[in-house]
Structure 1
Amino acid sequence: MKHAMHEPAPDFWGYARNYLHHFLPQVRALAPRSIEAYRISLESYIHYLATQKQVSRQDISFDHFDRQTLKDWLVWMRQTKNYVPATIGLRLSAVKAFLSFAAAEEITLVAVYQAAKTLKAPATPRKPIEYLEEHETTAVLAAHDGKDLKSRRNRMLLILLYDSAARVGEITALTLDDVTLAKPAHLTLTGKRDKSRVVPLGEKTLEHLMVYLEEFHPQRATRPATRPLFYSYHRGQATELSSDTVAAVLSKAGDLARQRCPSIPERLHCHMLRKTKAIGPL
């Protein structure tokens, strides 16, 4: 961005002061910690200009926010500072937000912002999909030995959670009315935004489920259709389990199974069962 001799260049420091001390706290009403994050990001770029480009702080202007210099800054953060992609993305987003503000205030800075806004930070590496091996899954599903009432409930809960690949909220919301034993046996799961889907039940799961229903829902036909499939008693009423309870059941199963299958991950979560089911049948 070049300015004719008779046109004063936009004052970078003035805009930065206005942005941090007026626009962010008063116009956008951001919390102090959020404003501090913007300040640190701007300071990071200023530090880069001063130490790597040998620009005196008092001489910094919007001319130093050209696309190439910003790209060099990204490389410096990644290769020299060893910042993780998320940190680089935060720094870049803050600088682009500042340039957007400046461009809205001063039309001659629109080109500066337009050149910068399409820059992208390095992509965050995708985490590998967490899933259980077949022998690990078998150990987890058999961990609750069924020697008492709660153990039998928990074992059925995990078997159904795995076989249906249901989300935790879908499992806890199941009622007797959602279970169809007639062929083809299936569950009706209700998920996000009250969307329903039908999930077939495998033969082994169906066998387990029928035994469970006999014990936990005797005379099922006379029970309310809205009775929770999995429940605990609260003030004498069968109440659906909480998501925390399901997580605790799985965590306990992991602790028990790990005694004979040490390779089971320390942190088991329900989504891991869904991924395991999606990868292939047991």
Structure 2
Amino acid sequence: MVTAGEHPNDHALVSDYLDHLSVERGLAANSLAAYRRDLTRFLDFLAGRGIDLLSAGAKQFDDYVIELRAGSEGRSPLSATSTSRAIAALRGLYRFAFDEGLVQENPTLDLRRPTTPSRLPKALTTEEVARLLAATGADSPTQLRDAALLEFLYGTGARISEAIALDIDDLDLTADFPVVRLVGKGDKERIVPVGSYACDALAAYVVRARPALMARGRGTPAVFLNTRGARMSRQLAWAALRSAAEKAFGGEVEHVSPHVLRHSFATHLLQGGADIRVVQELLGHASVATTQLYTKVTPEHLREVYTTSHPRAVTG
């Protein structure tokens, strides 16, 4: 860790800040990786202008935000949400530098994040989910694995990072009420029920397919394995979902992602009458405000409720 008054090189300061976030704040690995990318991009921006980190001021910050939104050579424009995260990383870095005595004042105090719209989470219909889950096949070990993975994502609302981090000991499928232990953001644990469809798919995979995959590796405890017997990667999980989506929906797969299955899990629970606090616990949301995004009904559901509930909605 840098000492007060010391003038480290820019990369050393960023490294110390990320260590601080990891050790003292317990920031999750995925968030750390995003912060590292954002801050490295800012260092590249400053280096191209011959300015070091602790000499940057309002003009550099404003120019940087403009570049983030507009894009630059070799870099795509960022959305308002991604720009907001990049600015949060900058503000945190300079607050850290101020606390360490490396700057006399925090130059990012007036740096504001762009307004990000509260967009409705996308969700598949129950019919679309059924088509997707039926598209994986069940003839090979990898097909059984992919079927179990997709059933698990929709059946538990797990994040993709939680699913691929799953170990065999985290599953309890033989109990009267099957459950799984998930470790979410900030290493927070939660116990989530596993529905019968997901339970059956997992059992089929664990009994009929996982041993064959595990024999090719070194005995990892991971539930979901690749063809080398190692823990399944996020990229491979995405590929499995994309393959199923292409079979289910043809070329229209841009709207399908692991997070869409999580959105669908929450949306369908709420449409079925689940209490929002229960859904919050199942999703592992720290705040119910995040879960409330799912309470905004779709036009189709609104129309269905109106036509079936209002006494003069339809004639005859």
**Per-residue deviation, residues 80-134 of structure 1 (Å, max 9, x unmatched):** xxxxx96xx99xx9xxxxxxxxxxxxxxxxxxxxxxx7xx898443323211111
Contact 1:251 1:267 in 2 (8 A): no
* Structure 1 residue matching 2:201: 3-state secondary structure: helix
C-alpha change, 1:30 and 1:250, in structure 2 (3 Å) is farther
Q: Following superposition of structure 1 onto structure 2, how do residues 68-83 of structure 1 map, counting pairs within 5 Å?
A: none
- 2:270 counterpart of 1:276: no
CA apart distance, 1:178: 0.8
Aligned partners of 2:259, 2:221: CA distance in 1, in Å? 25
The 1:194/1:124 distance shift into structure 2, 3 A limit, reads: closer
* 3-state SS of paired residue (2:161): helix
Residue 211 in structure 1 maps to residue 237 in structure 2: no
Q: 1:198 to 1:170 in 2, by over 3 A?
A: same
Partner Cα distance (2:141, 2:64) in 1: 56
Structure-2 residue corresponding to 1:240: 231
Aligned counterpart, 1:201: 194
User: Does the CA contact (< 8 Å) of 1:179 and 1:187 recur in 2?
Assistant: yes
3-state SS, counterpart of residue 150 of structure 1: helix
- Give SS of 1:274's match: helix
Alpha-carbon distance between aligned partners in 1 of 2:226 and 2:259, rounded to the nearest angstrom: 23
Instruction: Give the ranges of 4+ consecutive aligned residues of structure 1 lying more than 6 Å apart after TM superposition.
Output: 38-41
Say if 1:177 and 1:226, in contact at 8 Å, map to a contact too: no
Larger Rg: 1
Q: Which residue of 1 aligns with 2:133?
A: 141
SS in 2 for 1:144: coil
**Which residue of structure 1 lines up, in the alignment, with residue 144 of structure 2?**
152
Q: Aligned in 2, Cα 1:213/1:29: closer, same or farther, shift over 3 Å?
A: same
1:161: which partner in 2?
153
Q: Which amino acid aligns with 2:54?
A: R
In structure 2, the partner of 1:172 is: 164
Distance 2:66 2:177 in 1: 60
> Which residue is 1:29 aligned to?
55
CA contact (8 A) 2:180 2:194 kept: yes
**CA displacement at 1:39 relative to structure 2:** 11
TM-score (norm 1): 0.53
The letter of the residue matching 1:249 is A
Q: Which amino acid aligns with 2:151?
A: I
Letter in 2 for 1:213: V
Number of aligned residues: 180
SS in 1 for 2:239: helix
2-structure distance, mates of 1:39, 1:228: 41
Percent of paired sites with the same residue: 28
Structure 1 residues 34 and 257, CA gap change in structure 2 (3 angstroms): farther
**SS of 2:261 mapped into structure 1:** helix
Gaps of 5+ in 2: 1-49, 68-78, 88-109, 213-217, 273-316
Task: From 254, 258, 261, give the equivalent of 1:266.
Answer: 254
Distance in 1 between the 2:210 and 2:62 partners?
Answer: 57
Q: Quick check: 1:228 aligned with 2:225?
A: no
Q: TM-score, normalised by structure 2?
A: 0.48
